[in-house]
Amino acid sequence: MAAVTYERVLAPLGAALPDLEALYLDLHRHPELAFAETRTAAELARRLTGDGFEVHTGVGRTGVVGVLRNGEGPTVLLRADIDALPVEEKTGLPYASTARGADAEGRDVPVMHACGHDMHATWLSGAASLLSAARDSWSGTLLAVFQPGEEGGDGAAGMVQDGVFDLAGKPDFVFGQHLVPGPAGWVLTRPGVIMAASDSLRVTLHGRGGHGSRPETTVDPAVLAASVVLKLQTIVSRETAATEPAVVTVGSMHVGTTGNVIADDAVLEVNTRAFDNAVLLRVRAAIERIVHGEAVTAGAPKPPEIELAGSYPVTANDEAVTGELTEVFRAHFGPETTMPAPLVTGSEDFSEFGRAAGAPSVFWLVGGFDPVEVITAMTEGRFESDIPSNHSPRFAPVLHPTLRAGVETLVVAALSRMAHPGVE
Amino acid sequence: MAAVTYERVLAPLGAALPDLEALYLDLHRHPELAFAETRTAAELARRLTGDGFEVHTGVGRTGVVGVLRNGEGPTVLLRADIDALPVEEKTGLPYASTARGADAEGRDVPVMHACGHDMHATWLSGAASLLSAARDSWSGTLLAVFQPGEEGGDGAAGMVQDGVFDLAGKPDFVFGQHLVPGPAGWVLTRPGVIMAASDSLRVTLHGRGGHGSRPETTVDPAVLAASVVLKLQTIVSRETAATEPAVVTVGSMHVGTTGNVIADDAVLEVNTRAFDNAVLLRVRAAIERIVHGEAVTAGAPKPPEIELAGSYPVTANDEAVTGELTEVFRAHFGPETTMPAPLVTGSEDFSEFGRAAGAPSVFWLVGGFDPVEVITAMTEGRFESDIPSNHSPRFAPVLHPTLRAGVETLVVAALSRMAHPGVE
Amino acid sequence: MAAVTYERVLAPLGAALPDLEALYLDLHRHPELAFAETRTAAELARRLTGDGFEVHTGVGRTGVVGVLRNGEGPTVLLRADIDALPVEEKTGLPYASTARGADAEGRDVPVMHACGHDMHATWLSGAASLLSAARDSWSGTLLAVFQPGEEGGDGAAGMVQDGVFDLAGKPDFVFGQHLVPGPAGWVLTRPGVIMAASDSLRVTLHGRGGHGSRPETTVDPAVLAASVVLKLQTIVSRETAATEPAVVTVGSMHVGTTGNVIADDAVLEVNTRAFDNAVLLRVRAAIERIVHGEAVTAGAPKPPEIELAGSYPVTANDEAVTGELTEVFRAHFGPETTMPAPLVTGSEDFSEFGRAAGAPSVFWLVGGFDPVEVITAMTEGRFESDIPSNHSPRFAPVLHPTLRAGVETLVVAALSRMAHPGVE
Amino acid sequence: MAAVTYERVLAPLGAALPDLEALYLDLHRHPELAFAETRTAAELARRLTGDGFEVHTGVGRTGVVGVLRNGEGPTVLLRADIDALPVEEKTGLPYASTARGADAEGRDVPVMHACGHDMHATWLSGAASLLSAARDSWSGTLLAVFQPGEEGGDGAAGMVQDGVFDLAGKPDFVFGQHLVPGPAGWVLTRPGVIMAASDSLRVTLHGRGGHGSRPETTVDPAVLAASVVLKLQTIVSRETAATEPAVVTVGSMHVGTTGNVIADDAVLEVNTRAFDNAVLLRVRAAIERIVHGEAVTAGAPKPPEIELAGSYPVTANDEAVTGELTEVFRAHFGPETTMPAPLVTGSEDFSEFGRAAGAPSVFWLVGGFDPVEVITAMTEGRFESDIPSNHSPRFAPVLHPTLRAGVETLVVAALSRMAHPGVE
């Protein structure tokens, strides 16, 4: 396909940027937790409708799907996730979130788009609009999928089970992208495995409560939890090979309500990562062994409970299609901003769409931080410490050229797969 | 003073028990956290007014004081504390609390009278009523002090600062009592130190948040908190002599909101005990050393904060008055239920009243659990594990003869100190 | 008995001091580990023989007993222990030990009289000499018992089993004393329990060895041992009441031989203390629970082994005889240097002699450090940190008046019990 | 070069195997620790002399170099390491080692060829013999280098400093190989980084000793060491990226001599690995931060000491020469036994020879375990748990075809680089 087509389709993007910026700021100021994205979904559905898409809402609870049937040709699914995180924003930005929401346990928590899904949604909304406006440039079916509940892990599966492929058939290609703290304007691709498999485990440790001054009448769940957290470190340090990447993180630990009362229980939320499903299962088994062993050691009155709250498979890109897309990106963006992606320890349920459809899928990364700042930090060895990563309360992408770049990737990728009856 | 007077004053108690039971159940069902005891205070004030006391409310925020001026003679202060705890009741009792309240940080938490202050308030209300009805049997001034905010530590000091002694002068004697999981009907006394000194410390550990899959970009506050909790155990195990009692409890530990986000901070609430103020200060210094050392070890981006949220001194009984009261109790209750109290690791701010007044004070314990169950558990070595202690979510005193015994102790103690002009 | 007798018997002590000092320095320079005290025993036997005692060597392996039958009257057993410790002396004294010996596992270790048994032996040797020289002042039988193997715990039992009481019958009174870092010249007594019960446990933790770079093929015994040590701290901090003294010490921990090989096993030597045999048993059970639980948590290939290498009961003094001896000491030494002893967490197998003989026993303490230094350190709160305790590599008693004081206590105590036919 | 030459040179190998087996068994039965390999060196020198080499002993303390000048052509250095480990053999083999030796601290320790250096030496001795016997088949200079002290890290540097390249000039190619628990007869190659960089650190933690029953007078080095060991786990689990391989192992930890004495100090030997020298330095800095922080937390009387006892750089193979050698091996051994090597977390000072000579070096791996057993264990997922790795006390290679394979690799590799004047 000729690059000239890309240019023509993308021509209105410059004029559209102020509106996309307004959408991004609005989403950023009003983040919503997984499966509570009703305000977000309504706005995205409104825009799809305005762009002439057939719009389906409530797909997989709070998901939105726009269908654009545009003649013969392949079906391309473009996916963006739309949920935010229970993180208290500390960016100091004028448009920082002060929103709160109810987490899975009903606790009132702060909410922030700390993972960039506000940008993902804005990108896809912008790309959908451009592709709709340029319907004469391509032929096929476009599925714009706004997925809820990516954080936690079963939003994609929920849309699949709820019949997302019944709306316009199974896609021939599935594409998605993620905002990362790389230089704004960079696109990073990787054939094969790109993102990790992951488990989310909820561990409830049972002690026996009592007065804080009489520990001998209790089994102290704070000490038990502390020991579990330290012992879980040994799964990565002692039980997995150095050449076998794995991560075990206890992101959340809650015990008791006041200093002078020993509580009955402790609750840990544990998240694991690996680039190989077998390793992930081994890590899960080690967690179970350690958690149960620690309870025995503590003399716990009953065994702990371990609930698998979610599980992501490895995100693996189709080698051939990734290779072709990389060439397309390189031609469009230039070789100096089209880079090989590193192996990313983050996880995604994006691959569920490709798996369920039996279609090749490709997931790529788009940088969104000030290039000078990022590259200086990299060369000075300060990248890890100074550039806030996804999920950080200080995650703060720059708007430009980030907004433009992520719209272009989706448009170019979709066009590269669609039919172009009038072109050849 | 003749025992016959006690009997005459206590004669109406049997008939009053159903009403006291109703009061107890009402307070138990409607527990209120420290300084939020407005409903409790209103009910107790209403009863004091009905019993002819001059009533002062809002003393030390939510405290209530009843003054009964009854001619020449000593002033006796009887004190009950009235606040409940952020504990979720698990007694399974038909009158179990389902109440919730806002803790010091504004979090919504369950609330329970897990320390027996509902019984303390009922006892004092009953004793005040009987002593008022028997005004012809004694002469002097009675102060019925319902103190708020005992849990946390500055309710008594607040009442003193707010002028509790301006209402009817400084007392000549200060008496108080506590419900304990001993046999119902038992009274336990101890001259000298009876309860521990205590600090409440709030420790904020600063890490650096980020994505759960990229711990290398973060300083993980969950691991830091876990290590602090384990290391704090060594203060008692290694830094205090075996013959020098001390307790360090981390009752509350809160980190993060979800498994796959590493949080910025962890907050621990630590409670300490000792029977010697110098030991308590040594423990406090050790906590500071450990908490700061652990932050350095973890590479924390900024030092931890340690806030002294409250501090209780040792509760020490006047030796002479305690000896005399013990004789009075023994004569009234019989030697088989008047016992020496053990050293109690719990803490109280009761002693603040005696200290501020420069008056001898005595604090004693009253058992409130099924005697057969308690004594069987003791003889079978199951007491610690099977009998729920104060602050346990399963703390469940029996109503009888507990209600009666704690009213009698207060009446008998007050009468033993008052003048009896017509008697001799 | 008249004080004049004590003075007469003790009169030659001044002239004997240079010889006793020489004995002390010789023993200090040549410390010998438990049951290897052959040089020590030979020298002590030589002196007893010279003083006219009937001498038995090899009693309970390396023990020495001197019998002095001196007519009708009670039999008084004076006991000193004679073994040294596997500690490397760091006192910097001109007579510091540079000796080495083989420990129970045959390892070559440094040896030091870090517990003062050299002083104990010198005291008893001096007292035996004076009492023998003054045979006309008393009547009865004197047993001078030099016991081996006090450190480790079964030296006393070994002498009893080997027939120490067959030599001259069972004693009527059993006396012993211990050098402590109190002011030189002070004598400290305590009726009832004075020293703790104690267990010595040897714990072998089984891991699975391998290359240091491939921990995933191993079960790392160093990590397992480390976790056991930290978790054992919670027995004292969480499982025993603050008012229930207990100590759990891991004095020795050995794992591996080099950094890049993960070993198969780890060996810990654990020592516990309590003032109540029931508490000691509870601590032992908690150690077993924790050690086994940790092995399960670590995925150990086989269960750990826990061997009870020794056990001391509580050292409890006869109340009546202690009271009488205290009066005798107070009269002899003056009230300003006869003090109540604190509860001592150290342990002794001394009580085995009294138990086996069915005779009242008394064990007291004698100070041996510079009084100005000790008392200044106490008043400035530096005692614990600045005055080296027993078992410290810097334990360095002053010779005077320590030597004299401990001879006098034994002589006075023995004489106070003996018959004095010519006196009354 | 024609394969026919290899066959001709290798023809006598079959007949030589019994003698090589005898050499192997002799070396295995008489292992010697680093720089104590005098018996080993004497035997290897004797054989080199017999094979017509110019022999240099004592090169780099206990190293042996054989020089064979055979006309014009390249100089090829073949290196084998010869030292054993302080490991107690538990193979149960009839020729198991029962040897003992003195470690770096002079402790008497068991010694075993647990890393296969006995096989390395035997292989090189066999290859030297064959190449010498076939001097007419090649032209150039052969250096047979038997290096001492590979375990610990400076044996190769010691030979270089001691002038190994003065004997016959700098080599043009440097080759070495390592026995691994793969199928016997397999050869594994890898271009670029093949083995890890490594540090050996000796950490001395200073506490303050005292009596085991009085921990409050001490700073307990066992608890300090335990906490350091657990905290070191977090370097890998929290401070290095999942995709950035690193290992931190505490192979040796020694504290105290008996249970009831708290020691002054603890000594840890720590070994680290990474595949990037920058990561290794980061790990070293983290160890320093943690060790110093823990000492502060413990209130240690003086700072810990950290001594860098040895350091290995990354072992990186020349890409071009490795590619060529791989082709030669594949042709000689067949593709089914010539495999790509994994990244190995073990470390080597082999690369020092190539670095110092400025010559390309290649290091490969040779399997030495029963193929059926190894492959069955791999397919059943039992490889890590069931096949003893290098440094395991149960490391037990099979003699055949292991002996033959490792001789053939050296002969073929050397011949592939030598000149062959008469051949073309």
Is A2 part of a structural domain of the chain? no
Is A108 part of a structural domain of the chain? yes
Predicted pLDDT of residue C424: 44
Gyration radius of chain C's alpha carbons: 23
Q: Which two tokens stand for residue D278?
A: 């920058």
D-chain residues near C203 (CB < 8 A): none
- Identify the helix (H) or strand (E) that includes residue D13: helix D13-29
Contact in structure between A275 and D379 (CB atoms under 8 Å): no
- pLDDT score of D424 more than 80: no
Q: State pLDDT tens for residues C62-72.
A: 999 999 999 99
Determine whether the annotation assigns residue D56 to a binding site: no
A-chain residues near B220 (CB < 8 A): 249
The CATH number given to whatever domain includes residue D145 is: 3.40.630.10
Q: How far apart are CA B368 and CA C37, in angstroms?
A: 60
Contact in structure between B244 and B276 (CB atoms under 8 Å): yes
Is ipTM over 0.90? no
Residue of chain B whose Cα is closest to the Cα of A104: B258
Is D289 in Cβ contact with B239 (below 8 Å)? no
Q: How far is A384 from chain D (nearest CA, A)?
A: 10
Contact in structure between C228 and C184 (CB atoms under 8 Å): no
Return the sign of the alpha-carbon dihedral for residues A208, A210, A212, A216. negative
Is D273 in Cβ contact with C259 (below 8 Å)? no
Instruction: Give strand pairing partners of C208.
Output: C219
Name all chains with 3 or more CB-CB pairs below 8 Å to chain A: B, C, D
Q: Which two tokens stand for residue C139?
A: 């009547």
Q: State pLDDT tens for residues C110-128.
A: 999 999 999 999 999 999 9
Amino acid at D341: A
Contact in structure between A368 and A182 (CB atoms under 8 Å): yes
Interface check A381 vs B, CB under 8 A: no
Q: How far apart are CA D349 and CA D361, in angstroms?
A: 12
Interface check A101 vs B, CB under 8 A: no
Gyration radius of chain A's alpha carbons: 23
C-chain residues near A242 (CB < 8 A): 213
Residue of chain A whose Cα is closest to the Cα of C234: A223
Q: pLDDT tens digits, chain A, 424 residues: what are they?
A: 566 689 999 999 999 999 999 999 999 999 999 999 999 999 999 999 999 999 999 999 999 999 999 999 999 999 999 999 999 999 999 999 999 999 877 889 999 999 999 999 999 999 999 999 999 999 999 999 999 999 876 899 999 999 999 999 999 999 999 999 999 999 999 999 999 999 999 999 999 998 899 999 899 999 999 999 999 999 999 999 998 999 999 999 999 998 989 999 999 999 999 999 899 999 999 999 999 999 999 999 999 999 999 888 899 999 999 999 999 999 999 988 999 998 888 889 999 999 999 999 999 999 999 988 988 888 887 887 788 889 889 999 999 999 999 999 999 999 999 998 765 4
Residue of chain B whose Cα is closest to the Cα of A395: B210
Q: Domain check: are D213 and D293 in the same one?
A: yes
Q: Domain check: are D226 and D306 in the same one?
A: yes
Contact in structure between D156 and D150 (CB atoms under 8 Å): yes
* DSSP code, position D214: -
**B 57-76 → A contacts, CB under 8 A:** none
Is D273 in Cβ contact with A241 (below 8 Å)? no
Predicted pLDDT of residue A424: 44
Q: Domain check: are B208 and B301 in the same one?
A: yes
Gyration radius of chain D's alpha carbons: 23
Helix ranges (H only) for A117-263 are 117-133, 155-161, 221-234
Q: Domain check: are A64 and A188 in the same one?
A: yes
Q: How far apart are CA C1 and CA B411, in angstroms?
A: 57
Q: How far apart are CA C81 and CA A118, in angstroms?
A: 79
Q: How far apart are CA A235 and CA A279, in angstroms?
A: 11
Q: Domain check: are D87 and D138 in the same one?
A: yes
pLDDT band at C383 (very low <50, low <70, confident <90, very high): confident
Residues 6+ apart with CB under 8 A from C299: A286, A289, C219
Predicted pLDDT of residue D315: 95
First vs last C-alpha separation in chain A: 8
pLDDT band at C268 (very low <50, low <70, confident <90, very high): very high
Considering B163-172, B415-424, C413-422, the range whose residues carry the highest mean pLDDT is B163-172
Q: Domain check: are A170 and A230 in the same one?
A: no
Give the closest of A233, A245, A247 to D233, CB-based. Answer: A233
Q: State pLDDT tens for residues B121-141.
A: 999 999 999 999 999 999 999
Distance of CA A171 to the CA centre of its chain: 21
Residue to test with chain A: of D227, D232, D233, most A Cβ within 10 A: D233
Q: Domain check: are D123 and D221 in the same one?
A: no
Give the closest of D196, D259, D269 to C249, CB-based. Answer: D259
Q: How far apart are CA B215 and CA A248, in angstroms?
A: 9
Is D423 part of a structural domain of the chain? no
Indicate the average pLDDT of chain B: 94
Is B128 part of a structural domain of the chain? yes
Contact in structure between D301 and B305 (CB atoms under 8 Å): no
Distances (CA, A) of D149 to D56, D86, D134, D348: 17, 13, 31, 11
Interface check D90 vs C, CB under 8 A: yes
Name all chains with 3 or more CB-CB pairs below 8 Å to chain B: A, C, D
Q: Domain check: are C275 and C329 in the same one?
A: no
Q: State pLDDT tens for residues C387-398.
A: 888 989 999 999
Return the sign of the alpha-carbon dihedral for residues A214, A217, A218, A220. positive
> In 10 A of CB C345, how many CB atoms?
24
The strand ranges marked E within D196-320 are 197-206, 210-211, 246-255, 261-262, 265-274, 305-312, 315-317
Domain boundary among A294, A312, A330: A312
Q: How far is C228 from chain B (nearest CA, A)?
A: 12
Q: How far apart are CA D247 and CA A243, in angstroms?
A: 10
- Maximum pairwise Cα distance, chain D: 83
Q: Domain check: are A232 and A261 in the same one?
A: yes
Contact in structure between D222 and D266 (CB atoms under 8 Å): yes
Residue to test with chain D: of B218, B238, B262, most D Cβ within 10 A: B238
Is D41 part of a structural domain of the chain? yes
D-chain residues near C114 (CB < 8 A): 261
Percent pLDDT > 70 in chain B is: 98
Interface check D12 vs C, CB under 8 A: no
Domain of B231, in residue numbers: 197-312
Q: State pLDDT tens for residues B60-87.
A: 999 999 999 999 999 999 999 999 999 9
Q: Domain check: are A356 and A299 in the same one?
A: no
Q: How far apart are CA C316 and CA C347, in angstroms?
A: 11
Q: Domain check: are A322 and A267 in the same one?
A: no
Domain boundary among B312, B331, B347: B312
Is B178 part of a structural domain of the chain? yes
Determine whether the annotation assigns residue D288 to a binding site: no
- Name the domain count of chain B: 2
Residue of chain B whose Cα is closest to the Cα of C234: B233
Crossing angle of helices B221-234 and B277-298, rounded to 10°: 150
Residue to test with chain C: of A239, A243, A248, A289, most C Cβ within 10 A: A239
Amino acid at A47: R
Is D424 part of a structural domain of the chain? no
Contact in structure between D201 and D309 (CB atoms under 8 Å): yes
* DSSP code, position D219: B
Residues 6+ apart with CB under 8 A from B314: B193, B195, B196, B197, B275, B276, B277, B351
Predicted pLDDT of residue A378: 82
3-state secondary structure of C375: helix
Is A424 part of a structural domain of the chain? no
The DSSP line for C164-225 is GGGTT---SEEEEEEEEEEETT-EEE-SEEEE-EEEEEEEEEE-B-EETT-GGGSB-HHHHH
Interface check B274 vs D, CB under 8 A: no
The CATH number given to whatever domain includes residue D232 is: 3.30.70.360
Determine whether the annotation assigns residue D54 to a binding site: no
Residues 6+ apart with CB under 8 A from D378: none
Residue of chain D whose Cα is closest to the Cα of C109: D257
Q: Domain check: are B299 and B333 in the same one?
A: no
Give the closest of A214, A229, A251 to B212, CB-based. Answer: A251
Is D238 in Cβ contact with B216 (below 8 Å)? yes
Determine whether the annotation assigns residue D151 to a binding site: yes
Q: State pLDDT tens for residues D52-97.
A: 999 999 999 999 999 999 999 999 999 999 999 999 999 999 999 9
- Identify the helix (H) or strand (E) that includes residue A76: strand A75-81
Domain boundary among C274, C291, C312: C312
- Give the count of Cβ contacts less than 8 A between chain B and D: 64
- pLDDT score of B248 more than 80: yes
* pTM, 2 dp: 0.81
